Amino acid sequence: MNSNLLDIKDYIVFLIYFVVVASYGLYIYYKKKSATSDSKDYFLAEGSLTWWAIGASLIASNISAEQFIGMSGSGFKMGLAIAAYEWMAAVTLIVVAVFFMPVYLKNKIFTMPQFLNQRYNGTVGMIMAIFWLMLYIVVNLMSILYLGAVAISGISGLNITLCIVLLAAFAIIITLGGMKVIGYTDVIQVFVLVLGGLVATYLALDIISDGKGVLNGFTNLHQGASEHFHLIFKTDNPNYMDLPGISVLIGGMWIANLSYWGCNQYITQRALGASLPTARNGLLFAAFLKLLMPIIVVIPGIAVYYIIKNNIGAISADSLLTSSGAQDPNKAYPALLTLLPVGLKGLSFAALTAAIVASLAGKANSIATIFTLDIYQKAINKHASEKKLVGIGKISVLVSMLLGTGLALVVGDALMGEGKQGFQYIQEYTGFVSPGIFAMFILGFFWKKTTSNAALFATIGGFVFSVILKFSPDFMDLSFLSSINFSVPNAKGVYEIPFIDRMLIVFLLCVTGMYFISVIENKKKPVTSGLEIDPSMFKTNKAFTIGALVVIAMVTILYTIYW
């Protein structure tokens, strides 16, 4: 690619974006400065975020480099099927709003380890607090920084190392203002990332139609790349290992989504400081935005595939090939952005940066929240003042970002570099802990007899089961599972279990183990839940119900059309 891809006008557009976000963040910070000495206000923006700010912040934190770069790359490689993560997430957000949020808010839960501590015991809560910190830093912060830097470097021509450092610095500036600053600046970030993403999609479809309009472009794309417009793969599809057919609808995809959206401090934190109606409306708004996301992060990847396949000439095929000749999916979106005209390229550059920075800020804030409230306050300094807790939170932000930056610089290329799908890396390795976490939460919610030892079994056993199933092809033949589509041969002819199916299997093993452990322990000493749960909590108002049904209907229609 050209090493000087941005014009001075593009940098001016980007500078305007930076100044607007930073200025608005400072305004919010100083407007509420008196409240920032309160730890719950700093970490949760308690009672301050509106429904639209909550919804926008959820999407801004969720949509980052792994979507713009990783998911676009997966769209380039496997097509529309990767949109399952977005469209199934829309339905998942409805489930979380109806069933999860009432439990958290009724019981005044502010962090996920606090929930585990209150429902089970301090040991379970502390183990998971450490678990989450490691996951957020080693997988999430590192991957967001690396993939984001790859994209920005591809567009601007700047050195990847410099891009990693600059992204981390920008995110620190936003994060140090606390959740209130993050929440309200995320509204701007979402507007910019959606606008910039739509511009890139428009350009791609216009190129495909030879200037005859977006609708003609989409028609040509759908007809010319029809193999990329299937949401459900058959077992003979080369991408079945990543998205194993019907499991995206009734199998392991639910485990991944419910764990991410319902049991994840990074996500739920935005709604934990609000009232139930506000939290639910925010999640519903996020669900509608989720329906839009594949248009700006998946369609561009398919468009780049079409452009290269048909040799339109706008994008060089060489830019998407590795040294060994294999296609490099992570370069699809940056390659598309190089086609934008001056000014609009700066807007898309700002949109991409907005997505990355918002996600980094949200992740760093969650790390600070868990470390400060669940580790420092409980195990190190139980009598720390509110001011001290906020100070520790800010130090945690700096330390976590430094660790994430170091990992991105040292191992980012090895794990997500040339020829690898960054989005799939994140999903698979997060999936090592998701099944156990979700089993522990769902039984903790709705079965009062679940014991602390059963929860520990899910915490540790879930991870162990995942590792065993991941490496089981090295020491045993799994072809016997192929009859039920739970194993498929890889490029070497060795039968493996797709990671989404692994999550379902591990979840079922965890639930089974938790059940028997709890039954045995309840015979010795009956256990009761430490949570307040009332069936009336799960009732929704008419407006929310109508909105939820619309989201579910739209997802159903999409899967019916593109099955």
Residue 4: pLDDT over 80: no
* Long-range pairs, 8-17, Cβ under 8 A, ≥24: 9/342, 9/343, 9/346, 10/342, 10/343, 10/345, 10/346, 10/349, 11/346, 12/346, 13/343, 13/346, 13/347, 13/349, 13/350, 14/346, 14/349, 14/350, 14/353, 17/192, 17/350, 17/353, 17/354
Alpha-carbon gap, residue 146 to 405, rounded angstroms? 8
Alpha-carbon gap, residue 124 to 319, rounded angstroms? 48
pLDDT at 37: 53
The predicted-structure confidence for 263-277, as pLDDT tens digits, reads as follows 887 777 767 777 888
- Determine the 3-state secondary structure of 312 from DSSP: coil
Q: Which of 140-144, 307-311, 389-393 has the lowest mean pLDDT?
A: 307-311
Residue 106: pLDDT over 50: yes
The predicted-structure confidence for 432-486, as pLDDT tens digits, reads as follows 888 998 999 999 888 888 999 999 999 889 889 988 888 888 788 777 777 777 7
- Determine the 3-state secondary structure of 321 from DSSP: strand
Alpha helices in 525-563 (DSSP H): 542-561
pLDDT at 66: 65
The mean pLDDT of 303-325, rounded to a whole number, is 64
Nearest residue to 450 via CA among 509, 503, 512, 504 = 512
The residue ranking higher by pLDDT, 504 or 238, is 504
Alpha-carbon gap, residue 534 to 279, rounded angstroms? 18
pLDDT at 330: 67
Q: Which of 144-153, 202-211, 464-473, 518-527 has the lowest mean pLDDT?
A: 144-153
Pick the CATH number of 8-20+51-208+265-421 from 1.20.1730.10, 1.10.3720.10, 3.40.630.30, 3.30.530.20: 1.20.1730.10
The predicted-structure confidence for 287-301, as pLDDT tens digits, reads as follows 999 998 898 888 888
Sequence spans of domains, the chain: 8-20+51-208+265-421
Alpha-carbon gap, residue 467 to 317, rounded angstroms? 37
The predicted-structure confidence for 202-255, as pLDDT tens digits, reads as follows 888 888 888 788 888 899 888 888 888 888 888 778 778 878 888 888 888 899
Alpha-carbon gap, residue 306 to 228, rounded angstroms? 9
Residue 419: pLDDT over 50: no
pLDDT at 36: 44
pLDDT at 283: 92
pLDDT at 43: 62
